Amino acid sequence: MDSVVLDVHTGTREVVMDLTSRCEQFVSGRGDGLLHVFVPHATAGLALMELGSGSDTDLLAALDDLLPADDRWRHAHGSRGHGRSHVMPALIPPFLVVPVLGGRPALGTWQSIALIDLNVDNPDRQIRLSFLG
C-alpha cells in the first residue's frame, strides 16, 4: 500500500470541495487497485456525488435542514451550532473507496470525490489517499 497526505484549506465557510483531480493525480499510472480516501477529522466527511451543477449547494442546504446551526447541540464549544459538525460524519462518513482501473479512478460519468466540511472553526484539513494495488 502507498499513501500520501494532502493538506487542504477549506476556509471559514461551509464547503463542498472537489478532490477528484488530486485523487486522479495520485493513482495515475498505478494500474488496477483500490483508492481509499480518508479525512482524519471528527467534523468532516467524504462523498461521491455530482459537483458544479448545483448539487453541492443543494447538499449544504439539505445538511442545514437536517443539522441546523443553532443552540440545540450538547457539544457546544466553538461557533454557534458547532455540535452539528460532530454529528455529520455519522451521515457522511469520513472515508470512501473507489476502484482504480488502468491507473484511473473508475468513477461514473457525473461522479466526483468531494470533501464535505461544515466546521467553520477549522480552516485546514488533511486528506489521506492510499492506493492498494
* pLDDT tens digit sequence for 6-63: 999 998 899 999 999 999 999 999 999 999 999 999 999 999 999 999 999 999 999 9
Q: Give the H/E segment covering residue 34.
A: strand 33-38
Q: Give the closest residue to 75 by CA, choosing from 89, 63, 65.
A: 89
CB of 89 within 8 A of CB of 42? yes
Q: 58: Cβ–Cβ under 8 A, 6 or more apart, which residues?
A: none
CB 36 within 8 A of CB 27: no
User: pLDDT by residue (tens digit) across 58-113?
Assistant: 999 999 999 998 888 787 777 777 888 899 999 999 999 999 999 999 999 999 99
Q: What is the pTM of this model?
A: 0.93
Q: C-alpha angle with apex 29: 23 to 34, nearest 5 degrees?
A: 55
